[in-house]
Structure 1
Amino acid sequence: MATNAWVFTGGIYSGVTKEVGNAYDKCRYKNTKTASQIPFIGIVNWYTTTDYKQLKQNRDESANEKPLDDSTFEKKAKDRVRLYRTRQPSDKEKPETYPLDHNHTHFLMLQDEFKENDDRDQKPEYRHVFRINLILDLRAEIENESRKITNQGQTYSIPIVQILVNGGASSILTVYASVNRNTPVIVIQVPKSFRLHIFINHIISRVF
């Protein structure tokens, strides 16, 4: 945690992502300075975030045309602050949503192409895809671009690695999107998840 790393996750308060958030929180209390310097970034689907409407902002397009002084800029910044209350949705709630993990420092909230009404009738190939997975390709692209730094006109790529700890269908698709971009993946599995390595081997054989 002292290597100036950026940490990207799926950003939700569930599963391994939740455990990673708890670990980050413990680090924050043990070493406040170190943890506060590590960007802990969740990349999530806007429409599958529980109670995402809490985060909606009223945009005044006319105000964008006016020059901003310091006081106006400060007021606009305050107007953009939103309180998000984490709530665990019940199993009966439809469509399925996932709360944000409160231990993250930043969130990138991405809209999929089907907008609020989730109209996928025109694209049946997406009809059976979990909506939370519709942003995985874009997430992998963002993670890949984040490794590029420019110094004195030269662009360099810093190391990047993905860590997979067990997981289900979403995790497998995340790995597939990353492997397609030549991102190395470390797979950690518990004995009960003996089938995980079979899926990973299948992904690698398909890509390479």
Structure 2
Amino acid sequence: MTGDTRPGLWITLEGGDGSGKTTQAVRLEEWLTGAGRTVVRTREPGGTEVGRLVRDIVLHHRGDIAPRAEALLYAADRAHHIATLVRPALERGDVVIQDRYLDSSVAYQGAGRVLDGADIRDISLWAAEGELPDLTVLLDLDPASARARLDAADKPFDRLEAEKDDFHARVRDAYLALAAAEPHRFLVIDAAGAPDDIAATVRARVAALL
């Protein structure tokens, strides 16, 4: 399903940890709100009460989680999140700004955990009843720069942030492959650029969709 069948606008932000998704989500929300639009900001996992429970498991559980179990936990959160929060907001005509969606699962659980990316995408699309965003902003940053940003933040790493460099390299490559396969949906931006410049690029693309 696409924006042709709903009155709202759905924007997702993707990229490796430390790429600046939260910063850009805040700036985009401020701009849209200032323009009089009703904005719903959310994230996966964690956008609902159920999602917050799932987030605690997949990001902060101290023991190992089997890769397939991890992928299914993300899919379960996605099914609930879309049905109870995202779809109702879009049907109201709101703008949804979402930190991570199914592309994260394909990149992290597919490439990162070395599972079949097509299987992960199919599970996610089934869980979400085929829903896809109107625009996906991919903030692309090399893993070394991303790790330097995370180190500078001086906070404990979650389970995925703590993975080794080869994991994050696979994640980045998967993201770029996804963007190349769906250029109509993705906007790829060099996340090493100035935040103001990145925000301006995002605003220009979103303005064309409004």
| TM-score, normalization by structure 1 | 0.33
Which structure would you say has the larger RCO, counting Cα contacts within 8 Å and 6 or more residues apart? 2
Which has the higher Rg, Structure 1 or Structure 2? Answer: 1
Larger relative helix fraction? 2
